[in-house]
C-alpha cells in the first residue's frame, strides 16, 4: 500500500504508508509537500545563519524545532505556515544540535523562535529572538505570531478599563505603565524594556497620567488588567521591573494550573468540602457533646415537658451542618446556665421527629422557640450564638414592658438599680411615660415592648404623678425615656401617635450609638442605615482623644451622611483581614477609612501621616465629599458565583447513550397507554445486556467521559 | 343539602344524631323527587375510598361514601383467599421519624392519628387479611367518616347542568332506586371482576375466587394452574405439599418482583414453586397463549390440554377421548398428562357494568377490560369531574410504581384531593416558602424521609418553584409528575422563574424480569458515577422553564421526565440515608449552585462580617442570615477546626499582617471565594 499526492495530474510525492501513521502525520506531510517553498527545512547552523542574514530588513523568521516529522507539533507548525507562510519565513529543523547551538537546553520538546529580522537595518546586528513558551499547538502559534505583529508599545490616555488591543482578544493581560510628563522619557524606556520581556505574554502600554482623565490612585505606577471580562483593573505599586514580569508570569501560571485542573479527570477539588460550616462540624463529629444538659424532646414527650414549663426549644436536624454548629453554642449556653435558670433548655432533632417539627411550624433549621405557659410561642430572631441567646433568655425573665408603679421605682429603673442583674445584657432601658388616660398609645407601646421582649428592657409608667418624671426629664407626654447605663445618660424622645411598629422602629433606632465599636454582632444593625462607614481601626481600646474628636464631629453634624464607628482589632480580629484587603502595605495603626459599601465600593484612607484631629478629619471629609480624594481600592462588585462546577451528568448520560448500541431506541417515544409501554418494556428486555459490559463501560467512562463532561461545564455555566 | 350541612356543624360529638338526621334526610328525599345532592361522592369504602373520605372530612367538604357491604374493606373479607397479605408490615426500622417509617409500612392509610398505624393491628410481617378488615373498620369509625353502608350503586349516569362545577352532575342510583346527585365522582371500587379467558373447555376451570383453600381437597392430585401472578403462586403454595405436581401455564415468562422492583410481580414469599421446579421436583412452569388452548374432559373426569385448532378441526360434539391431542403428533408434548383440576388465577378487572356509556370510562385499547381510561391526574379522560382512585387507577403506573397498592395510592389519593381543593375551593397546593439558603436542606430533608416520593417513585415528585432572582423558593410535595406542564392550573402556584423536580428513580438498565440484579459491583459508590446508580436514588431535574405538554409527552424513551436543562443524581446509598456531607450533600449543593449561578455555601458570622466590609455583594447565606442579624456565631472548637482545615483564617496573631505584605488583589479571584483563604491551603488538602 502506498499513498500518492497529486496536484492536478502531476505526482508531487509518494508516501510510504508507515509515515502516515495518524491524522497529524497525514496533515503534516501533505502540508510539508505543498509548502515546499514557504517552509525551509535545514539541518545546520550555517543554513540558519544564511537565511537570517538574507532576510535582515526584509522579513522576520519563524524558526521551529520539532522532534520528528509527522508529530502533532510538526502539524501545528505546518498549519501556521499555511496561514502565515507568505508573511514570515518559516524554517524547520529536527536537528537537536542546531537547537542546542542557539542556546536552548531543553531539547525534549518542540520549540518555536521568532527572529525579529525585519526591523534590523544594520547587517552586522543579530536579529532579536523571542521564544514561544506555551506548547506548540496551532492556536498557540497563531496567538504568538499575532502578538509579534502587534506594536511593541502603545501609548494611551484612556481609561485602562476601556482600552482594547489584540492582546485582550487573544486572552492575554495588559500591563499599563503609568507615566507622567516629567518622567516620560525614562518611563518609555522602562516600558519598552518591559514590553520586550513580556512579548508574547502580555500587551504593554504607556498610560499618560497627566492627559488621562482616569482616576488613578496616587501612588500606583502600574495598572494590571486581566483578559477576562468584568474583572476590575488592579492598581499596583511596583518598584522593580522584575516585579511586573513576575506578576504577569504568576498570573499565567495560575491560568495554566486551572487549565490542567479542568483536564484532570478526577478534578479532585469538586469533592473537597469548601463549606466552612460543614467542614468544621464534620471535623468535630467525634467530640462528645454534653447533650444531657439539655432535654431531648420527642413527639410523645413534647406536650408533657415543653408545654408544662417555660422552655426554650432548639429545633435542629442531625444531618444539617448549620444547625449542628449552633447546637454546640446551645450546649455551651446550657453549661453557662446550669442550675441557675428556671427556663428549661430542650431540643428536638427534626431528623427524628419530623412531624412534631412540622406541627410546630418549623420548616427550616435551626429554629429556636420560647414556650411560656399561656402564651403563644415566640421564635428567637437574634444571632445564632451563645451570648445573644443568653441575653434573650435573661431579658425574657422580666415582662416587657415592666409595669412601674411609683416615681421611686421609676428612678431605680432608670438608674439600673431595679434590674441590676440584667443591664449587662441590655445597655439601654426604655421607659414609656404616659398620662393615665392615654390608653391607645399605651396599648401601642405595650405591644411594641412585647415585640422587643428579649432584646431590650422596656418599662411603662402611667400613674397620676407622671408629671414629676416628665418635668424632671423635660419630656412632653407621651414620651420615651432612654437610660444609657454605660454612659449614665438619660434622653427623652417624644412619642406622637405612633403605631406599635413605629415605636419599635423608634426604639431600635435609639439603641444605635453615635460612635459605636463595630463588632461582628452589631455590624448588621448599622448596615441597615445604608450609609458609608467611617471606621477607625484601633489595636486595642480607642484613644480617648480620637473618640472625643469623632464625637465632636458627630455632634456638629459633620458625620450625618456617614456611620462613624471604630473597630478594636483585639475584639474583632477579622478586622485584620479587612485591612489587608484595603491596603497594599499596611500603614501603622490607628487607621481611618471611609468605605462606600452601598454605592460604588470605593475605600478611602485618611492619610496616615496626618494626626487624627478634628480639624484634619474635617478637612479630609470635606475633600472627600468634594471628590478630591482618590480611593485606595474598590471593593469587588461581583456576584457570588458557584465556587466550583458540578458534575455534568446530562452530558455523561448523553455520551453513554451515543456510545451504547442497545440504547439506540428512537430518540423520542410517544407516551402511550400503559399496555403499549409495557409491551415495549418486554421488547427491550429481549436484548440481553451482559452485566460485565455495563461494568466495563462504567470504568471506561470514568476516565474518558469525564473530560467531555469537564469541558461542557464551562459551556453550561454560561448557559445557566 | 342545607340540612346536611347544618347537620355536619354539630360535629363529631353529635355523630349519632348526624346519622339519625342523615337517615331522615334520605327518607325524605326518597319521598320527594329532588335527589339529595353532594359535592363529592365516593364509590367504595375500601382503602382508597376511605383515604379520600379522610381528606375530604379533614377539609370540611360535603361528601359521602357509598359501600354495598355492611362494613369497609369487603374485598379483604374474602381475598386473598389464603388470607396472608403480601404487603409488608415493618414494625421496626430503628428510626423514630414517622414519615420515614411509612416507607416501610405498606398497609396503613394516611391520617393524623398515630393509633391508626397498621403496626398496632398486627405483629406479622405479612399480616392476615382479617387484620386489614379490622383496621379499615377502625379507620372509618374512629375518624367518623361518612360511609353509607349497604348501599349498592347500581347505575351511574351523567346529567348535564350548566351550573354544575363540571357542567354536569353524576347521578347515582342505588339498589332501592334512590338517586344521589354528585358534583364530583370519585370511583374507588377497585378491581372486582375476575378475569376470564374464553376458550373451549373453560367451563371446567375453577376460579381463584371459589376454589377450595383446604389442601386436603388436593391430596394426590395433578393440578394445572392458569396464570402466573401472585394469586396463582399463592394458590400453588397452599397445595404444593399435597399434590402430585403442579403445572403453571401462562402467556408470558414469570416476572419476579425482586428483579423488576414492581410489587405486583411475583413476590418471593409466594415463589415456593419456583424453588421446587428448579430443584427437579415434578412441579413446573410452561409458557403458552391461553387463547390457543382448549381443555377436554375424559370419561374419568380428568382434563386434557389440547389446542383450540384441533377442536375446530374435529367434530365438536365428539367424545372427549376422540379429540386430537397434541401428544398424538408429538409424543413428548409437555402437558400430555391428565389433570385432576384446572384452576384459573388470572387477576381482576374493573367493573364497568354500572357506568353509563355517556361517562366514556372505557377505552378501545387492550387495557379497556382491566382499567378505566384516565389521565395522569387520575381524572377520567371521558368525563370531567370523575376521578378513579386506588387499585383501579393503576393504569397510570402499571408495572412501574406502587399506584395499584395501598402504600402507593394513599399518596395519589392525596394528590387528587389537593387538585380538587384548588379546582373547587381555591385552596392552592400546599407549599412552604423558604429562602434560597435553605434549598439544599429542604431537598436533603425530603429525600431522606418523604414516603410518598419513595413509594410512588417516578409518579409523584416534589417540585421546587423558584422565585424571582432565585432568592426564595416554594416547595410543593408529591405532585403527579406527568402533569408537570399543567402545574400552574392544577396547583395555583406560579412557575415563572425556573423549577427543580425532585424524583426518586431506579437505574435505567438495572431491573427487568430477565436481568441479573445481583451482578457483582452492582452498586455505585463514587459521586461522579452517581448517574449510573442502580438502586432507588434521588434525581433532581432543573428546568429553566416549565416544560410544555408536548415536551412531557414526547420525552426521551425511558425518561420519567422531559429532558431538563441540567440533571443531578444523588449517588445510591446502601442505607437509603443521603446525608453524607461530602458524598451526598456537597455534590447536590454544587449542582444547585450551578443551576442558580450562585454560591450556596454557609458561612460563620465572622466570615460574613469580613465579606460585608470587603465586598459589595454577599453570598445568599450571609444575606439571608447575617445581614438580618441572625448570623451563625460558632464556637471556639469549631473555629479551631476551621483554621486547621484552612477554610477559616486565624487573625488573632498580629504578625501575620506584615508577613503577607503582598496583598491578595481584591478583584483577582474569578469566583469570589472567601478572600481570607490562604492559597497554600489548597495544596495541603490535595
How many whole angstroms separate alpha carbon A535 and alpha carbon A87?
60
Q: Give the H/E segment covering residue B234.
A: helix B230-239
Q: Which of A276, A524, A660 to mutate to test the interface with B (most CBs of B within 10 A)?
A: A276
Q: Which positions in chain A touch B675 (Cβ < 8 Å)?
A: 577, 581
CA distance, residue B582 to nearest chain A CA (Å): 7
Residue of B nearest to A689 (CA): B515
Give which of A227, A275, A700 to mutate to test B binding, by max B Cβ within 10 Å: A275
Helix axes of A138-149 and A72-84: crossing angle, nearest 10 degrees? 40
Average pLDDT, stretch A438-460? Answer: 88
Per-residue cell: A492? 427623652
CB contacts of B509 in chain A (<8 Å) are 662, 689, 694
pLDDT computed for residue B316 by the predictor:
56
Nearest CA in chain A to B508: A663
Query: What is the nearest CA distance from B391 to chain A, expressed in angstroms?
Result: 14
pLDDT over threshold 50, residue A680 = no
Chain A nearest-CA residue for B562: A668
**Contact check, Cβ <8 Å, A271/B604:** no
pTM of the model: 0.74
| Angle, alpha carbons B45-B48-B52 (nearest 5°) | 90
Nearest to A526 by CA among B540, B185, B612: B612
What is the signed CA dihedral for B37, B39, B42, B48, rounded to 10 degrees? -170
Q: Is the minimum CB–CB distance between A580 and chain B shorter than 8 Å? A: yes
Determine the distance from the C-alpha atom of residue A102 to the mean position of all C-alpha atoms in its chain, rounded to a whole number: 46
Burial category of A288 from C-beta neighbours within 10 Å (exposed 0-12, middle 13-18, buried 19 and up): exposed
Selecting from B591, B626, B686 the residue whose C-beta is nearest the C-beta of A646 gives B591
CB contact under 8 A, B587 and A527: no
CB-CB under 8 Å, A666 with B668: no
Chain-centre distance for alpha carbon A128: 43
Residue A67: per-residue pLDDT: 83
Contacts of A597 in chain B (CB under 8 A): 612-613, 616
Q: What is the pLDDT of residue B496?
A: 92
Instruction: Tell me the three state secondary structure of residue A90.
Output: strand
pLDDT category at A3 given cuts 50, 70, 90 is confident
Query: SS3 of A181, please?
Result: helix
Place of cell 399561656: A374
Asked whether the beta carbons of residue A674 and residue B395 sit closer than 8 angstroms, the reply is yes
CA distances from A138 to A75, A80, A407 (A): 8, 6, 91
Q: What is the DSSP string of A75-89?
A: HHHHHHHHHHTTTSE
With CB atoms and an 8 Å threshold, state whether B582 touches A640: no
Q: What is the pLDDT of residues B435-474, one digit of tens each?
A: 999 999 999 999 999 999 999 999 999 999 999 888 999 9
* Alpha carbon separation from A446 to A441, A460, A507, A688 (Å, rounded): 8, 8, 13, 77
Q: Do B632 and A695 touch (CB under 8 A)?
A: no
In tens, the pLDDT along A544-587 reads 989 999 999 988 888 888 999 999 999 999 998 999 888 877 77
Mean pLDDT of A147-158: 83
Nearest neighbour of B599 by CB, restricted to A582, A641, A669: A641
Is A280's CB within 8 Å of B645's CB?
A: yes
Q: Compute φ and ψ for A90, nearest 5 degrees.
A: -90, 135
Q: Which residue of B has its CA nearest to A535?
A: B613
Mutate to test the interface with A, among B528, B567, B576, B599 (most CBs of A within 10 A): B528
Q: What torsion do the CA atoms of B553, B556, B562, B568 make, to the nearest 10 degrees?
A: 160
Q: Is B512 in Cβ contact with A681 (below 8 Å)?
A: yes
Quick one: how far is CA A402 from the chain centroid? 47
Contact criterion met (CB below 8 Å) for B248 and B236: yes
**Which residues of chain B neighbour A681 with C-beta distances below 8 Å?**
399, 512
Residues ≥6 apart with Cβ < 8 Å to A144: A112, A114, A132, A134, A200
| Predicted pLDDT of residue A676 | 42
Q: Please write down the HEC assignment for all residues of A409-472.
A: HHHHHHCCCCCCCCCCCCCEEEEEECCCCCHHHHHHHHHHHHHCCCCCEEEEECCCCHHHHHHH
CA quadruple B199, B202, B207, B210: dihedral sign: positive
Neighboring chain A residues of B662 at a CB cutoff of 8 Å: 584
**Beta carbon pairs, A and B, within 8 Å:** 397
The predicted-structure confidence for A65-97, as pLDDT tens digits, reads as follows 888 888 888 889 888 888 888 888 899 888 888
**pLDDT at A312 (0 to 100):** 92
In B100-167, the DSSP E strands lie at 147-148, 153-160
Asked if A520 reaches chain B (Cβ–Cβ under 8 Å), the answer is yes
Q: Which residues are CB-contacts of A66 (< 8 A; sequence separation ≥ 6)?
A: A73, A74, A77, A92, A94, A110, A136
b/e map B342-370, b = 16+ CB within 10 Å: bbbbbbbbbeeebbeeebbbbbebebbeb
Of A394, A306, A288, A310, which Cα lies nearest the Cα of A348? A306
Determine the distance in angstroms separating the CA of A694 from the nearest CA of chain B, rounded to an integer: 9
In this complex, the residue of B397, B590, B670 whose CB is nearest that of residue A228 is: B670
Determine contact: A715 vs chain B, CB below 8 A.
no
Contact map slice: A 211-240 vs B, CB within 8 A: 226, 228, 231-234
**Residues of chain B under the 70 pLDDT cut:** 1-34, 314-321, 363-368, 509-511, 653-686
The ipTM of this complex is 0.86
> Are A319 and B434 within 8 A, CB to CB?
no
CB contact under 8 A, A668 and B645: no
| Element (DSSP H or E) covering residue A39 | strand A39-41
Nearest to B613 among A226, A354, A578 (CB): A578
Report yes or no: B366 at the A interface, CB cutoff 8 Å: yes
Computed over every residue of chain A, the mean pLDDT equals: 81
Residue of B nearest to A255 (CA): B670
Distance of residue A422 Cα from the nearest chain B Cα, in angstroms: 21
The mean per-residue pLDDT over the stretch A305-326 comes to: 91
Of the partner residues B587, B637, B686, the one whose CB lies closest to the CB of residue A646: B587
Region A274-280 average pLDDT = 93
How distant is the Cα of A345 from the closest Cα of chain B, in angstroms? Answer: 18
- Say yes or no: A695 contacts chain B, CB-CB below 8 A: yes
pLDDT of residue A717: 37
> Is the Cβ pair B609, A574 closer than 8 Å?
yes
Distance CA A325, CA A574 (A): 20
From the candidates A646, A657, A688, which should be mutated to test the interface with B, based on the most B CB atoms within 10 A? A646
Chain A residues 440-459 with a CB less than 8 Å from chain B: none
| Gap between the terminal Cα atoms of chain B | 74
**Cell 453634624, located at residue:** A557
Q: What is the pLDDT, as a whole number, of residue B671?
A: 37
Angle B406-425/B47-58 helices, nearest 10 degrees? 40
Nine cell digits for residue A498: 405612633
- The residue of chain B nearest to residue A701, with distances taken between CA atoms, is B529
Stretch A468-491: mean pLDDT, rounded? 85
Contact (Cβ atoms closer than 8 angstroms) between residue B564 and residue B599: no
Residues in A 644-673 with any Cβ partner in B closer than 8 A:
644-650, 652-653, 662, 665-671, 673
Closest Cβ–Cβ partner in B601, B612, B625 for A523: B612
User: What residue in A sits closest to B658 (Cα-Cα)?
Assistant: A586
Q: Check residues A51 and A705 and name the one with the higher pLDDT.
A: A51
Q: Given CB atoms, is B33 within the 8 Å cutoff of chain A?
A: no
Flag whether residue A551 sits within 8 Å of chain B, measured between CB atoms. Answer: no
Chain A residues lying within 8 Å of B664, measured CB to CB: 580-581
Of A363, A572, A717, the CB nearest to B594: A717
Q: What is the DSSP letter of B253?
A: -
| The C-alpha cell that represents A323 in the structure block | 444547625
Preferred mutation among B666, B682, B683 to probe A, highest tally of A CBs within 10 A? B666
Pick the closest to residue A542 from A610, A590, A595, A611 (CA basis).
A590
Amino acid at each position: 500500500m502506498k499513498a500518492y499526492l497529486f496536484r492536478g495530474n502531476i505526482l508531487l510525492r509518494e508516501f510510504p504508508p508507515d509515515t502516515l501513521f495518524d491524522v497529524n502525520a497525514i496533515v503534516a506531510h501533505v502540508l510539508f509537500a505543498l509548502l515546499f517553498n514557504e517552509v525551509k527545512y535545514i539541518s545546520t547552523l550555517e543554513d540558519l545563519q544564511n537565511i537570517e542574514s538574507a532576510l535582515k530588513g526584509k522579513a522576520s523568521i519563524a524558526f521551529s524545532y520539532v522532534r520528528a516529522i509527522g508529530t502533532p507539533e510538526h502539524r501545528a507548525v505546518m498549519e501556521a505556515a499555511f496561514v502565515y507562510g507568505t508573511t514570515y519565513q518559516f524554517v524547520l529543523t529536527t536537528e537537536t544540535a542546531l537547537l542546542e547551538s542557539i542556546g536552548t537546553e531543553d531539547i525534549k520538546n518542540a520549540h518555536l523562535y521568532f527572529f525579529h529580522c525585519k526591523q534590523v537595518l544594520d547587517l552586522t546586528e543579530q536579529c532579536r529572538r523571542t521564544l514561544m513558551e506555551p506548547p506548540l499547538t496551532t492556536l498557540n502559534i497563531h496567538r504568538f505570531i499575532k502578538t509579534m505583529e502587534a506594536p511593541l508599545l502603545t501609548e494611551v490616555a484612556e481609561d485602562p478599563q476601556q482600552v482594547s488591543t489584540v492582546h485582550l482578544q487573544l486572552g492575554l493581560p495588559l500591563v499599563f505603565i503609568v507615566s507622567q510628563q516629567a518622567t516620560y522619557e525614562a518611563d518609555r524606556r522602562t516600558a519598552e524594556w518591559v514590553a520586550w520581556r513580556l512579548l508574547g505574554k502580555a500587551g504593554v502600554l504607556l498610560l499618560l497620567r497627566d492627559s488621562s482623565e482616569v482616576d488613578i490612585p496616587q501612588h500606583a505606577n502600574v495598572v494590571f488588567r486581566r483578559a477576562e471580562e468584568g474583572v476590575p483593573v488592579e492598581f499596583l505599586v511596583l518598584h522593580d521591573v522584575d516585579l511586573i514580569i513576575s506578576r504577569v508570569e504568576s498570573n499565567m501560571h495560575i491560568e495554566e494550573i486551572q487549565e490542567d485542573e479542568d483536564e484532570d479527570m478526577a478534578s479532585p477539588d469538586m469533592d473537597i468540602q469548601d463549606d466552612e460550616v460543614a467542614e468544621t462540624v464534620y471535623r468535630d463529629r467525634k467530640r462528645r457533646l454534653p447533650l444531657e444538659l439539655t432535654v431531648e424532646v420527642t413527639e410523645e414527650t413534647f406536650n408533657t415537658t415543653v408545654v408544662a414549663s417555660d422552655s426554650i426549644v432548639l429545633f435542629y436536624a442531625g444531618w444539617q451542618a448549620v444547625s449542628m454548629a449552633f447546637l454546640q453554642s446551645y450546649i455551651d449556653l446550657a453549661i453557662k446556665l446550669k442550675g441557675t435558670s428556671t427556663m428549661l433548655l430542650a431540643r428536638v432533632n427534626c431528623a427524628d421527629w419530623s412531624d412534631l417539627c412540622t406541627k410546630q411550624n418549623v420548616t427550616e433549621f435551626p429554629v429556636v422557640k420560647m414556650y411560656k405557659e399561656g402564651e403563644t410561642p415566640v421564635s428567637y430572631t437574634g444571632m445564632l450564638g451563645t451570648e445573644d441567646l443568653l441575653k434573650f433568655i435573661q431579658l425574657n425573665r422580666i415582662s416587657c414592658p415592666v409595669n412601674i408603679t411609683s416615681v421611686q421605682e421609676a428612678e431605680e429603673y432608670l438608674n439600673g438599680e431595679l434590674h441590676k442583674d440584667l443591664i449587662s445584657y441590655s445597655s439601654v432601658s426604655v421607659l414609656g411615660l404616659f398620662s393615665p388616660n392615654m390608653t391607645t398609645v399605651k396599648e401601642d407601646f405595650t405591644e411594641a415592648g412585647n415585640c422587643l421582649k428579649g432584646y431590650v428592657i422596656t418599662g411603662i409608667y402611667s400613674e397620676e404623678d407622671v408629671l414629676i418624671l416628665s418635668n424632671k426629664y423635660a419630656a412632653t407626654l407621651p414620651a420615651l425615656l432612654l437610660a444609657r447605663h454605660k454612659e449614665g445618660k438619660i434622653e427623652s424622645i417624644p412619642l406622637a401617635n405612633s403605631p406599635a411598629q413605629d415605636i419599635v422602629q423608634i426604639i431600635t433606632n435609639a439603641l444605635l450609638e453615635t460612635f459605636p465599636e463595630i463588632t461582628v454582632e452589631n455590624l448588621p444593625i448599622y448596615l441597615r442605615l445604608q450609609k458609608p462607614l467611617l471606621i477607625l481601626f484601633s489595636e486595642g481600646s480607642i484613644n480617648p482623644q480620637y473618640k472625643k474628636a469623632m464625637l465632636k464631629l458627630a455632634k456638629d453634624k459633620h458625620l450625618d451622611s456617614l456611620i462613624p464607628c471604630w473597630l478594636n482589632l483585639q475584639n474583632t480580629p477579622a478586622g485584620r483581614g479587612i485591612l489587608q484587603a484595603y491596603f497594599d502595605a499596611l500603614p501603622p495603626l490607628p487607621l481611618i477609612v471611609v468605605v462606600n459599601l452601598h454605592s460604588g465600593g470605593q475605600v478611602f484612607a485618611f492619610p496616615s501621616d496626618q494626626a487624627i484631629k478634628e480639624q484634619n478629619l474635617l478637612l479630609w471629609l470635606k475633600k472627600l465629599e468634594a471628590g478630591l480624594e482618590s480611593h485606595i481600592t474598590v471593593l469587588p462588585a461581583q456576584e457570588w458565583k458557584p465556587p466550583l462546577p458540578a458534575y455534568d451528568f446530562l452530558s455523561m448520560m448523553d455520551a453513554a447513550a451515543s456510545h451504547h448500541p442497545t440504547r439506540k431506541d428512537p430518540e423520542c417515544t410517544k407516551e402511550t397507554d400503559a399496555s403499549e409501554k409495557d409491551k415495549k418494556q418486554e421488547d427491550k428486555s429481549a436484548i440481553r445486556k451482559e452485566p460485565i459490559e455495563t461494568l466495563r463501560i462504567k470504568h471506561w467512562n470514568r476516565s474518558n467521559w469525564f473530560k467531555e463532561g469537564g469541558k461542557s461545564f464551562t459551556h453550561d455555566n454560561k448557559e445557566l | 343539602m342545607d340540612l346536611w350541612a347544618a347537620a355536619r356543624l354539630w360535629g363529631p360529638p353529635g355523630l349519632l344524631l348526624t346519622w339519625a338526621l342523615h337517615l331522615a334526610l334520605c327518607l325524605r328525599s326518597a319521598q320527594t323527587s329532588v335527589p339529595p345532592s353532594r359535592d363529592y361522592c365516593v364509590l367504595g369504602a375500601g382503602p382508597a375510598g376511605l383515604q379520600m373520605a379522610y381528606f375530604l372530612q379533614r377539609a370540611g367538604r360535603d361528601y359521602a361514601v357509598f359501600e354495598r357491604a355492611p362494613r369497609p374493606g369487603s374485598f379483604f373479607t374474602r381475598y386473598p383467599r389464603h388470607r396472608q397479605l403480601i404487603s409488608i408490615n415493618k414494625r421496626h426500622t430503628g428510626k423514630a421519624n414517622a414519615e420515614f417509617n411509612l416507607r416501610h409500612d405498606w398497609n396503613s392509610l394516611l391520617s393524623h392519628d398515630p393509633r391508626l398505624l397498621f403496626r398496632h393491628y398486627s405483629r406479622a410481617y405479612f399480616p392476615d387479611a382479617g387484620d386489614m378488615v379490622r383496621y379499615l373498620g377502625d379507620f372509618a369509625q374512629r375518624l367518623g367518616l361518612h360511609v353509607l353502608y349497604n348501599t349498592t350503586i347500581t347505575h351511574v349516569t351523567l346529567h348535564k347542568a350548566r351550573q354544575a362545577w363540571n357542567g354536569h352532575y353524576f347521578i347515582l342510583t342505588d339498589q332501592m332506586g334512590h338517586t344521589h346527585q354528585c358534583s364530583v365522582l370519585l370511583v374507588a371500587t377497585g378491581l372486582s371482576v375476575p378475569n376470564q379467558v374464553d376458550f373451549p373447555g373453560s367451563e371446567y376451570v375453577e376460579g381463584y375466587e371459589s376454589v377450595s383453600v383446604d389442601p386436603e381437597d388436593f391430596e394426590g392430585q395433578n393440578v394445572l394452574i392458569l396464570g402466573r401472578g401472585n394469586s396463582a403462586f399463592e394458590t400453588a403454595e397452599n397445595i404444593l405439599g399435597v399434590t402430585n405436581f403442579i403445572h403453571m401455564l401462562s402467556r408470558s415468562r414469570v416476572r419476579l418482583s425482586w428483579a423488576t422492583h414492581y410489587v405486583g410481580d411475583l413476590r418471593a414469599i409466594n415463589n415456593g414453586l419456583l424453588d421446587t421446579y428448579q430443584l427437579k421436583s415434578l412441579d413446573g412452569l410452561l409458557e403458552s397463549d391461553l387463547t390457543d388452548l382448549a381443555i377436554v374432559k375424559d370419561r374419568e373426569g380428568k382434563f386434557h390440554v389440547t389446542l383450540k385448532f384441533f377442536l375446530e378441526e374435529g367434530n365438536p360434539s365428539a367424545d372427549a377421548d376422540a379429540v386430537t391431542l397434541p401428544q398424538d403428533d408429538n409424543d413428548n408434548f409437555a402437558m400430555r398428562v391428565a389433570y385432576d383440576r384446572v384452576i384459573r388465577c388470572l387477576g381482576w378487572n374493573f367493573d364497568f357494568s354500572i357506568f353509563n356509556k355517556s361517562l366514556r370510562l372505557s377505552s378501545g385499547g387492550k387495557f379497556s377490560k382491566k382499567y378505566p381510561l384516565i389521565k395522569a391526574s387520575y381524572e377520567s379522560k371521558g368525563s370531567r369531574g370523575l376521578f378513579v382512585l386506588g387499585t383501579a387507577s393503576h393504569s397510570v403506573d402499571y408495572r412501574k410504581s406502587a399506584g395499584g397498592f395501598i402504600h402507593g395510592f394513599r399518596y395519589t389519593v392525596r394528590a387528587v384531593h389537593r387538585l380538587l381543593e384548588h379546582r373547587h375551593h381555591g385552596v392552592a397546593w400546599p407549599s412552604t416558602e423558604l429562602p434560597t439558603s435553605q434549598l439544599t436542606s429542604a431537598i436533603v430533608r425530603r429525600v431522606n424521609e418523604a414516603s410518598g416520593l419513595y413509594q410512588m417513585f417516578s409518579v409523584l415528585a416534589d417540585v421546587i418553584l423558584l422565585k424571582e432572582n432565585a432568592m426564595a423558593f416554594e416547595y410543593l410535595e408529591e405532585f403527579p409528575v406527568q402533569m408537570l406542564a399543567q402545574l400552574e392550573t392544577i396547583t395555583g402556584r406560579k412557575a415563572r422563574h425556573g423549577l427543580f423536580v425532585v424524583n426518586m428513580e431506579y437505574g435505567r438498565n438495572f431491573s427487568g424480569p430477565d436481568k441479573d440484579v445481583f451482578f457483582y459491583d452492582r452498586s455505585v459508590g463514587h459521586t461522579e458515577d452517581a448517574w449510573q446508580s442502580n438502586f432507588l436514588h434521588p434525581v433532581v431535574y432543573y428546568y429553566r422553564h416549565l416544560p410544555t405538554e408536548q415536551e412531557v409527552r414526547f420525552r426521551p424513551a425511558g425518561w420519567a421526565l422531559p429532558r431538563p436543562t441540567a440533571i443531578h443524581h444523588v449517588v445510591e446509598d446502601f442505607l437509603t440515608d443521603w446525608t453524607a456531607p461530602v458524598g451526598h450533600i456537597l455534590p447536590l449543593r454544587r449542582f444547585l449552585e450551578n443551576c442558580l449561578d450562585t454560591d450556596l455555601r454557609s458561612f460563620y458570622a465572622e466570615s460574613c462580617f469580613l465579606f460585608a466590609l470587603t465586598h459589595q455583594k454577599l453570598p445568599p447565606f450571609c444575606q439571608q442570615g447575617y445581614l438580618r442579624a441572625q448570623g451563625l456565631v460558632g464556637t471556639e472548637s469549631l473555629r479551631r477546626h476551621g483554621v486547621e482545615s484552612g477554610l477559616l483564617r486565624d487573625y488573632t496573631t498580629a504578625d501575620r499582617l506584615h508577613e503577607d505584605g503582598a496583598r491578595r488583589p481584591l478583584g483577582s479571584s474569578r469566583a469570589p471565594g472567601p478572600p481570607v483563604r490562604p492559597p497554600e491551603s489548597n495544596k495541603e488538602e490535595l
